Amino acid sequence: MTKQPLRVGRIRYGLWWLEEATAGARARVRAVADGTATAGRELRWAAELSVRAATVQIDHVRPEPLNDRGLLKLMAFLAFAALGIAFVLGIGVSQWLMTAENSMVFAAAGALAVGLAVLALAFLVFASRRRRNR
């Protein structure tokens, strides 16, 4: 019995050669993807733990009313912060109206900051409210 070489067409040979040539790159990509997936799972787990801890801590907050000096300092700080927020938001909106690139980042950051300022003011308004015993 004689052994003759296996006859392979050009397309199959080209596909085999391409597979052999890219084997190392595919293995590296697979390793990077696995590492990224593992890191993503760890970050998700850490975020879940942080959210759970934050909600537990928020439930145990017992705010006390501020004295007049502390309230004045806090309101002055919030006023200066609001001026800074208004400045950044004004720049962002003016650039957005001129259709400049990357101006939505300013507008989004300003909107987020305004929301946080309103949240802080709402906390100040309801900080002295007494809780009912359950």
How far, in Å, are 101, 102, 120 from residue 111 at the CA level?
Answer: 18, 15, 14
Query: Model's pTM, two decimal places?
Result: 0.34
* 3-class secondary structure, 62: coil
Q: What is the number of H-type helices and E-type strands within the chain?
A: 4, 0
> Which pLDDT belongs to residue 48?
93
Site of tokens 């990077």: 32
Residue type, 97: L
What is the per-residue pLDDT for 103? 60
Q: Where do the domains of the chain lie?
A: 1-61, 64-134
The pLDDT tens digits along the chain (134 residues) read 667 667 778 888 888 888 888 888 888 888 888 888 898 899 999 999 999 998 888 777 776 777 888 878 888 888 888 788 778 777 777 776 776 666 666 667 767 777 887 787 777 777 655 555 55
Looking at residue 106, what is its pLDDT?
67
Closest by CA to 83, choosing from 124, 122, 117, 123, is 117
Q: What does the alpha-carbon distance between residue 110 and residue 83 come to, in Å, rounded to a whole number?
A: 11
